[in-house]
């Protein structure tokens, strides 16, 4: 049960992380998760427990996302870590944390209760620690008094024991890589528990070290060999412990402290006092009355040994626990590493003057004063620290330079940065919120932020430079609007390369009904990207996009895929371009791309109702049905007046021409309705006479939403590769519409289906022209052929028979439904082909064929022992549950049977053949038809007789199939005590007689688990009840099959024909083979 639920999330994870090779990714994720033994929580359960992640329930902020307090239905309190999509922790770290903590059991490690992966949500559920994190005590003037020395020493020893377990006593050697005060939680008795294993690394055997090119951790706690070279080991954890030990003793963070006119961090301050034999000055004043001097001095001594520069000079945690727990002699510490102060921040007691800078934690960016060749014009700004040229990314006072070196940047008591020159304010920040403990910090993203030092949420900024950018865009910076603050975030070009005065060339979002990004020259549109369409855009190895649109903000962000990359976009007034640069291995800025890219990117070059194609000659063409407004000017290459309709619109009888591969028109005069699908969008546009074009709002997946254009269509570009652009439906009068009879009505029905279209020649070659030897099956609607594509991939091709009952409606139904389905127990659609009379569906080839070829074959049935059959039963149940409940649409299959269940190479089941399926939105679960389609022996009575179908009619079919799998017999005539009964009747008769074990297929008697088999028979009889309301849902079926819960007794099942036999004729009767039927009848 648990494993099945885990696998059900795989497709969601693949979709979420946008990994191109989905099959390999799926296998990789399955392999990583297969040995995880933790409960899986339902997202709804956690949402209820945390009051929908209410802000009041937020109790912390880790580097990878917020932590919320919650309460489960039974009253148990929990802590829920919610992975932020904008964090650095992706799928790898999440799975790492789950897998590691699931295997760890120690009283000084936080306990993982379970996890949840659903859509974009990745959640870890921990035991709730009532006293929160250690940092909230030791760094708080009031709460620190609650921790006297005996309690602190107890906490120190607990942390040591937890770390020793990770390094030595657990089955795997585990290096935490992010040990710090905020990752130590305290329970109700103030016992410490190490938490947050998202960055941890595990090793088997005797391995104790590793190497990485992705350095992750917290500034101030990282060992030098890890921060500089990416080398980590158990000794890098020991270094972090040494810092933490000092902080617990001193009650101070490892940041800037003053000692005899020197600014040192805590380690440097401790080393200086140790050398002066004044170590007692390090004590937190609140523990002086309770401390044991010898213990405290021993702790300081051990901490200095732990923070030695070279790993080999640091003790192991075994030695640490021995040194702390005895009076053994200890070696004298050498001078420790990193006695320079934290230079990434400014507090109220500090200021920044000419010649001094602050540097981001990992040395990526630097803030200070600079000039651009003229010493009489100086500026406060941020630059790439280790890049010598073109490195300025932000300027505070671009339009107000300082003419000498007597300027000062300080942080005032209200939490505002103020730049003064001769006591005159040159520049300052503003914030609506004031704070008592402000700190300004330069982050490794290049963002200068102001926040409350005591605020648990590290991302609760009072002000940030990313909201007020200059001419340069960086990874993680938003372009857009904070709607409630009416604040536009946009890039503004410098006047020139040596003058950072803001120019009039800008890059930002204009708030049209369908917002989009523009380059503006003053108030004139210069270049338009086109609106966000839900697509990730062109795949590249450097960055990915995020788009946010809600009541709070509308923003566009790009983020680097690899934190070790450096990239920037710059708005240039001189060249009137917005280039993107990437820092290359040759140590120079390499031009990666430029906007505008070509002449056609310049705004409106072809005028209204025309498109521009840079690969065509001439580059401007009128849209279909339009003609140049001024033919003379058009011929003279002046296209600015654009085009007009050849014939007037009729409104009522108009239609639409479809054009692919476009940058859609300027969205200033548009209307958006995200609730409409493409068909309703077409109808609405057709009914509004001034609507000139429409398309999907969001093209991801199968497409959704509606956008309509009114008036002239401006600034359209035709891309040379259609996939680079979008589809647009342009309104035309009847005289301009294509009246060809070959234009099928199914064009509109297929236009929103997101599956590859195969060329008929490709399919013909793959199947050897549908060679009879390649035929592997015959469905009710036509034959199925095995084929092999040019690259070697094997496929199954369903060829619609012109004589079958399945016409274009069922064909399109199957394409549209399966294209939207993603589940490991449903067959995967690779694409389709429609050409002339041929209508083909291309599926993954499932190597073991259909289930009926096994269970109804005396030889092959022996290959399916009971464990395999039970796995098949559970897989079919999970697939059906997905169709009925978990997919975006509720889907009723209407033809579930043994021949429509395929088995892959590992005998996992996959439900196939959706030609008869019906889909419903919302909570609808049933329908009615006067065209009854299905297979004899599997149809529920209410469907066969009255045309009423529902999820419960699928449940009926599942009940039949379940019986067939257990018995190895088709649902046909069997004889029992002078009666001819079908399989259901036969099973019911034996059930009443308490002889149900007689039903078991003889081929599985040696391998079967009797309670499981009897439970399956019990469930099958509940599924085939006469009335739908008496049948369980598939949710209940899975619960009953996967547990030992009590079940209701079945009533007599739905219809099963009886026939009295003459004496002496007690052998099995013959029956019709499986027939797919299609009945048309009035009700």
Residues designated as active site: 895
Look-up: residue for tokens 């390094």?
Answer: 167
Rounded distance, CA 223 to CA 219, Å? 10
Q: What are phi and psi of 757, to 5 degrees?
A: -100, 120
Rounded distance, CA 437 to CA 282, Å? 23
In sequence order, what are the residues at sequence separation of 6 or more whose Cβ sits closer than 8 angstroms to the Cβ of residue 744? 808
Torsion on CA atoms 869, 872, 878, 884, rounded to nearest 10: -100
Rounded distance, CA 128 to CA 105, Å? 16
Task: For 346-355, give one letter per residue: b (16+ CB within 10 A) or e.
Answer: bebebebebe
Torsional sign, CA 989, 995, 997, 998: negative
504 in Cβ contact with 574 (< 8 Å): no
Rounded distance, CA 1065 to CA 247, Å? 92
417: left (phi over 0), alpha (psi -120 to 50) or beta: beta
Rounded distance, CA 710 to CA 112, Å? 56
Single out the residue of 373, 321, 339, 354 nearest to residue 161, CA to CA. Answer: 321
717 in Cβ contact with 792 (< 8 Å): no
596 in Cβ contact with 525 (< 8 Å): no
443 in Cβ contact with 360 (< 8 Å): yes
In sequence order, what are the residues at sequence separation of 6 or more whose Cβ sits closer than 8 angstroms to the Cβ of residue 314? 235, 238, 239, 242, 305, 306, 307, 308
Single out the residue of 578, 613, 583, 603 nearest to residue 593, CA to CA. Answer: 578
Rounded distance, CA 351 to CA 486, Å? 32
Please give the DSSP secondary-structure letter assigned to residue 781: T
The DSSP string of 79-99 is: EEEE--TTSS--HHHHHHHHH
636: left (phi over 0), alpha (psi -120 to 50) or beta: alpha
Rounded distance, CA 154 to CA 295, Å? 12
The DSSP string of 264-301 is: E-HHHHHHHHHHTT-GGGGS-GGGTTT--HHHHHHHHH
Q: What is the 3-state secondary structure (H, E, C) of 540-557?
A: CCCEEEEEEECCCEEEEE
N-term to C-term CA, the chain: 42
382 in Cβ contact with 358 (< 8 Å): no
Instruction: Extract the tokens encoding 868.
Output: 């395999």
Rounded distance, CA 303 to CA 239, Å? 8
Rounded distance, CA 788 to CA 654, Å? 45
- CA triple 24-124-1039, angle to 5 deg: 80
In 3-state terms the chain splits into helix, strand, coil percentages (rounded to 5) of 25, 30, 45
Single out the residue of 1052, 832, 875, 841 nearest to residue 962, CA to CA. Answer: 875
Look-up: residue for tokens 């040994």?
Answer: 305
849: left (phi over 0), alpha (psi -120 to 50) or beta: left
State which H helix or E strand residue 23 sits in. Answer: helix 22-33
């Amino acid at each position: 049960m648990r494993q099945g639920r885990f696998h059900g999330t795989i497709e969601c994870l693949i979709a979420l992380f946008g990994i191109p090779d989905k099959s390999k990714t799926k296998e990789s994720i399955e392999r990583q998760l297969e040995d995880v033994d933790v409960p899986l929580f339902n997202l709804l359960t956690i949402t209820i427990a945390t009051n929908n992640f209410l802000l009041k329930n937020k109790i912390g902020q880790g580097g990878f996302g917020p932590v919320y307090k919650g309460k489960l239905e039974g009253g148990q309190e929990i802590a829920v870590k919610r992975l932020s999509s904008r964090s650095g922790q992706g799928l790898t770290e999440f799975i790492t944390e789950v897998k590691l903590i699931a295997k760890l059991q120690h009283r000084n490690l936080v306990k993982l209760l379970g996890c949840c992966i659903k859509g974009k949500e990745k959640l870890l559920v921990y035991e709730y620690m009532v006293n929160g994190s250690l940092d909230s005590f030791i760094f708080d003037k009031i709460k620190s008094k609650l921790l006297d020395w005996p309690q602190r020493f107890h906490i120190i020893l607990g942390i040591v024991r937890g770390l020793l377990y990770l390094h030595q006593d657990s089955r795997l050697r585990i290096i935490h890589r992010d040990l710090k005060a905020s990752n130590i939680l305290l329970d109700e008795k103030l016992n410490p528990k190490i938490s947050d294993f998202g960055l941890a690394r595990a090793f088997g055997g005797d391995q104790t070290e590793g190497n990485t090119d992705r350095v992750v951790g917290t500034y101030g706690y990282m060992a030098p060999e890890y921060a500089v070279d990416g080398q980590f080991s158990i000794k890098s954890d020991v270094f972090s412990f040494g810092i933490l030990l000092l902080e617990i003793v001193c009650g101070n963070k490892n940041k800037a402290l003053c000692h005899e006119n020197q600014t040192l961090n805590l380690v440097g301050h401790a080393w200086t006092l140790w050398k002066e034999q004044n170590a007692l000055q390090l004590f937190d004043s609140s523990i002086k009355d309770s401390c044991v001097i010898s213990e405290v001095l021993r702790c300081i001594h051990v901490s200095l040994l732990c923070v030695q520069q070279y790993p080999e000079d640091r003790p192991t945690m075994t030695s640490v626990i021995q040194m702390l727990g005895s009076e053994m002699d200890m070696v004298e510490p050498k001078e420790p590493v990193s006695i320079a102060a934290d230079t990434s921040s400014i507090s109220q007691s500090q200021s920044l003057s000419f010649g001094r800078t602050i540097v981001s934690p990992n040395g990526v960016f630097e803030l200070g004063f600079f000039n651009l060749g003229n010493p009489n014009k100086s500026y406060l700004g941020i630059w790439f620290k280790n890049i010598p040229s073109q490195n300025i990314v932000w300027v505070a006072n671009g339009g107000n330079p300082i003419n000498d070196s007597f300027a000062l940047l300080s942080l005032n008591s209200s939490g505002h940065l103020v730049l003064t020159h001769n006591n005159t304010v040159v520049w300052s920040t503003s914030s609506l919120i004031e704070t008592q403990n402000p700190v300004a910090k330069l982050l490794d993203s290049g963002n200068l932020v102001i926040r409350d030092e005591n605020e648990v949420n590290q991302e609760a900024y009072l002000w940030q430079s990313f909201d007020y950018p200059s001419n340069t865009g960086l990874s993680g910076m938003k372009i857009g609007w904070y709607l409630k603050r009416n604040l536009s975030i946009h890039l503004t070009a410098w006047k020139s390369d040596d003058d950072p005065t803001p120019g009039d060339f800008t890059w930002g979002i204009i708030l049209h009904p369908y917002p989009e990004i523009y380059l503006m020259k003053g108030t004139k549109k210069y270049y338009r990207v086109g609106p966000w369409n839900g697509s990730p855009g062109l795949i590249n190895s450097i960055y990915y996009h995020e788009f946010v649109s809600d009541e709070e903000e509308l923003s566009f962000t790009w983020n680097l895929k690899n934190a070790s990359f450096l990239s920037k976009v710059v708005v240039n007034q001189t060249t009137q371009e917005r280039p993107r640069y990437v820092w290359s291995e040759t140590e120079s800025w390499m031009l990666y791309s430029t906007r505008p890219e070509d002449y056609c990117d310049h705004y409106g070059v072809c005028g209204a109702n025309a498109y521009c194609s840079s690969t065509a000659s001439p580059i401007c063409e009128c849209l279909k049905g339009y003609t140049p407004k001024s033919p003379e000017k058009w011929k003279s290459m002046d296209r600015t007046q654009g085009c007009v309709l050849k014939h007037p619109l009729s409104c009522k009888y108009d239609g639409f021409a479809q054009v692919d591969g476009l940058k859609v028109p300027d969205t200033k005069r548009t209307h958006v309705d995200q609730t409409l699908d493409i068909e309703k969008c077409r109808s609405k546009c057709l009914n509004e006479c001034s609507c000139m074009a429409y398309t999907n709002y969001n093209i991801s997946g199968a497409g959704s939403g509606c956008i309509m254009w009114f008036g002239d269509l401006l600034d359209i570009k035709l891309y040379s590769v259609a996939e680079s652009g979008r589809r647009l439906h342009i309104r035309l009068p009847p005289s301009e519409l294509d009246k060809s009879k070959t234009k099928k009505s199914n064009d509109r029905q297929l236009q929103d289906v997101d599956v590859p279209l195969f060329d008929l020649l490709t399919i013909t070659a793959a199947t050897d022209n549908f060679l009879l030897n390649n035929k592997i099956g015959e469905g009710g609607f036509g034959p199925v052929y095995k084929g092999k594509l040019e690259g070697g991939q094997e496929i199954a091709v369903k060829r619609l028979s012109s004589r079958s009952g399945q016409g274009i409606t069922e064909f399109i139904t199957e394409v549209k439904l399966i294209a939207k389905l993603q589940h490991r127990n449903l067959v995967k659609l690779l694409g389709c082909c429609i050409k002339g009379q041929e209508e083909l569906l291309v599926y993954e080839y499932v190597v073991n064929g259909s289930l009926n070829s096994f269970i109804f074959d005396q030889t092959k049935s022996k290959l399916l022992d009971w464990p395999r059959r039970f796995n098949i039963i559970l897989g079919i149940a999970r697939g059906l549950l997905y169709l009925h409940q978990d997919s975006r649409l509720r889907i009723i299959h209407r033809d579930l049977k043994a021949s429509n269940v395929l088995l892959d190479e590992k005998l996992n089941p996959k439900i196939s053949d959706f030609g008869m399926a019906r889909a419903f939105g919302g909570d609808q679960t049933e329908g009615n038809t006067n065209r009854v389609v299905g297979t004899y022996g599997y149809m529920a009575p209410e469907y066969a007789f009255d045309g009423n179908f529902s999820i419960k009619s699928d449940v009926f079919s599942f009940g039949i199939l379940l019986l067939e799998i257990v018995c190895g017999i088709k649902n046909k005539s069997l004889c029992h005590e002078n009666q001819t009964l079908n399989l259901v009747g036969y099973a019911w008769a034996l059930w009443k007689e308490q002889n149900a074990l007689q039903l078991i297929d003889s081929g599985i008697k040696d391998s079967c688990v009797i309670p499981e088999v009897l439970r399956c028979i019990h469930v099958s009889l509940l599924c085939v009840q006469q009335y739908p309301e008496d049948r369980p849902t598939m949710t209940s079926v899975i619960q009953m099959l996967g547990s030992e819960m009590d079940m209701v007794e079945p009533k007599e099942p739905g219809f099963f024909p009886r026939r009295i036999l003459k004496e002496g004729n007690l052998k099995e009767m013959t029956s019709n083979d499986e027939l797919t039927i299609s009945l048309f009848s009035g009700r």
